[in-house]
A and B are shown apart, each in its own frame.
Chain A
């Protein structure tokens, strides 16, 4: 089956002459969760903006659902690829949550019946029944970010791009984002994350694409990519704290990656017997 998003040999040069991405190839298929990592200026935002046609390739080609993005309107592409901006203030501005949810479908001019169906689904997904008449500006920043997400999901796009969903969020907010990403995945959406949050990626253990100096330098599962410490350093990425610990505990299984607290607890569960016999474990071999 054809991948839903196909990026072939894409370079993008901005009008000021800066080359933001160079010769990138990428395929994203059904049911995938893909995290695009890299420091600011690495080209990761430029790359994902090609998915809904906000940017068009200078050379190369991007196809979304078999459509060449160069030939389609952004409004149409946006109904397939929902893009949730980092700052909800850029996207939401209406006085009630309800209006925010209807807004995207109204722009698309789809039938009333279909609109109702899509909005209803978003209300259920985000459990917004009691918040419909609330003013998004009266809600706290986490909730407002969630309304931003809901208003994009109400369009019912096949793909959802989340730009820095956990930035500035507290622990509870981060956990909620993790929950939502898993939920979108279960509902059959392709999820693209643009993020610096390594704990989030550790928990998801999803596919990771690393951008550095306008090029794609890695594309694999998180546990594989994160093993390469040189690579993380090049891209200015700091692994989750548990992984830093695991890297220094030589008695753990070197063939495994320990991205989460769970993974280390699991190792101890399996090896508890051995530990009890030895009583002590040295760091040396």
Chain B
């Protein structure tokens, strides 16, 4: 796998990368407009149909697991210890009290992570890097910057593989990579110096190759892949515009607050429950591998 992109035949995949960039921006703005956890939750749930449409539910859930770790930590620690909290909501194991204000703060922060994370994951998993480069060029981003963006995707797996070879090559010179932590810090040089040299050589040679492929030639450039703004994109963009205006109205004119302490407590429990499931799954996997041999 070269990047996080996963090919599917879906409406979301067909959207122009520029539309999807706007979408990510829209979500980020929306998420910061609302200081109300309930609205964040609505945003999060509101995006789930898009995940369904992109046919990447499983992959999406997998990538969210990692974010859950942050969410659990933030919800729990801030909920208890954040000094802005005054009104106790409920108490666990004698003395540790979750307070309303702290929970509001913590859940806005954690839901925001999930909301923006979801938008980013949808974007990255449904957008082909080459299309992104082309789209950027249509926005008058210089050719070379768009290419750099693209080649970064390409070079990461190569560097990862080279890093493994360097590791082995240095072990063959009796470098003990499993030594104590102080030793290991010292070992960063023999691992990174060769990796740096090798990457440098590769990039240098690639620059010659690109020249030989007429990279810096003036004139019109063409592309094999087609990216076109279609009626679907216009619909999507208009939809976002309408929603954005509504959100602005709601957040400034109305000052709505749907949040109740019940909602907060149930979110907290829900987050714990999800995290617990993730942990159980993880342990189960490890154990079954161990037992399976």
Tell me if A139 is interfacial: C-beta within 8 Å of chain B.
no
- Please measure, in the bound complex, the distance between the C-alpha atom of A193 and the C-alpha atom of B170, giving whole angstroms: 19
Say what secondary structure dominates the interface of chain B: helix
Q: Which residues of B contact A107 (CB under 8 A)?
A: 173-176
Cβ of B194 and Cβ of A152 under 8 Å apart?
no
Q: Which residues of B contact A152 (CB under 8 A)?
A: 172-173
Tell me if A187 is interfacial: C-beta within 8 Å of chain B.
no
- Please measure, in the bound complex, the distance between the C-alpha atom of A107 and the C-alpha atom of B190, giving whole angstroms: 11
Q: Assign chain B's interface to a size class.
A: 20 to 34
Q: Which residues of A contact B168 (CB under 8 A)?
A: 49, 54, 85
Which residues of chain B (171-225) have a CB below 8 Å from chain A?
Answer: 171-178, 189-190, 193-194, 197-198, 201
Which residues of chain A (52-80) have a CB below 8 Å from chain B?
Answer: 52, 54, 73-76, 78-79
- Please measure, in the bound complex, the distance between the C-alpha atom of A104 and the C-alpha atom of B172, giving whole angstroms: 9
Q: Which residues of B contact A76 (CB under 8 A)?
A: 174
CB distance from A119 to the nearest CB of B (A): 14
Tell me if B287 is interfacial: C-beta within 8 Å of chain A.
no
Q: Which residues of A contact B61 (CB under 8 A)?
A: none
Q: With A85-B165, A89-B198 as given contacts, are A54 and B172 in contact (CB-CB < 8 Å)?
A: yes
Say what secondary structure dominates the interface of chain A: helix
Cβ of B169 and Cβ of A91 under 8 Å apart?
yes
Q: With A73-B178, A85-B165, A107-B176 as given contacts, are A91 and B170 in contact (CB-CB < 8 Å)?
A: yes
- Interface size of A in residues (CB-CB distance below 8 Å): 27
Cβ of A90 and Cβ of B173 under 8 Å apart?
no
Cβ of B174 and Cβ of A93 under 8 Å apart?
no
Q: Which residues of A contact B189 (CB under 8 A)?
A: 93
Cβ of A79 and Cβ of B165 under 8 Å apart?
no
- Please measure, in the bound complex, the distance between the C-alpha atom of A89 and the C-alpha atom of B165, giving whole angstroms: 11
- Please measure, in the bound complex, the distance between the C-alpha atom of A82 and the C-alpha atom of B174, giving whole angstroms: 9
Tell me if B155 is interfacial: C-beta within 8 Å of chain A.
no
Tell me if A83 is interfacial: C-beta within 8 Å of chain B.
yes
**Which of B172, B194, B198, B201 contacts A83, CB < 8 Å?**
B172
- Please measure, in the bound complex, the distance between the C-alpha atom of A85 and the C-alpha atom of B174, giving whole angstroms: 14
Cβ of B194 and Cβ of A75 under 8 Å apart?
no
Cβ of A52 and Cβ of B197 under 8 Å apart?
no
- Please measure, in the bound complex, the distance between the C-alpha atom of A85 and the C-alpha atom of B170, giving whole angstroms: 10
- Please measure, in the bound complex, the distance between the C-alpha atom of A76 and the C-alpha atom of B201, giving whole angstroms: 32
Q: Which residues of B contact A82 (CB under 8 A)?
A: 172
B173, B193, B201 — most chain A CB neighbours (10 Å): B173
**Which of A73, A87, A89, A91 contacts B173, CB < 8 Å?**
A91
Q: Which residues of A contact B176 (CB under 8 A)?
A: 73-75, 107
Q: With A85-B165, A90-B166, A90-B198 as given contacts, are A108 and B174 in contact (CB-CB < 8 Å)?
A: yes
Q: Which residues of A contact B178 (CB under 8 A)?
A: 73
Tell me if A226 is interfacial: C-beta within 8 Å of chain B.
no
CB distance from A115 to the nearest CB of B (A): 12
Given A75-B176, A78-B173, 18 new contacts (CB under 8 A): A54-B172, A73-B176, A74-B171, A74-B172, A75-B174, A82-B172, A84-B172, A85-B169, A89-B197, A90-B198, A92-B194, A93-B193, A103-B173, A107-B173, A107-B175, A107-B176, A108-B174, A155-B174
Give the B-binding residues of A (Cβ under 8 A). Answer: 49, 52, 54, 73-76, 78-79, 82-85, 87, 89-93, 103-105, 107-108, 151-152, 155
Q: 21 interchain pairs (CB within 8 A)?
A: A52-B172, A54-B168, A54-B172, A73-B176, A74-B171, A75-B176, A84-B172, A85-B169, A89-B194, A89-B197, A89-B201, A90-B162, A90-B194, A91-B170, A93-B189, A93-B193, A93-B194, A93-B197, A104-B173, A107-B174, A108-B174
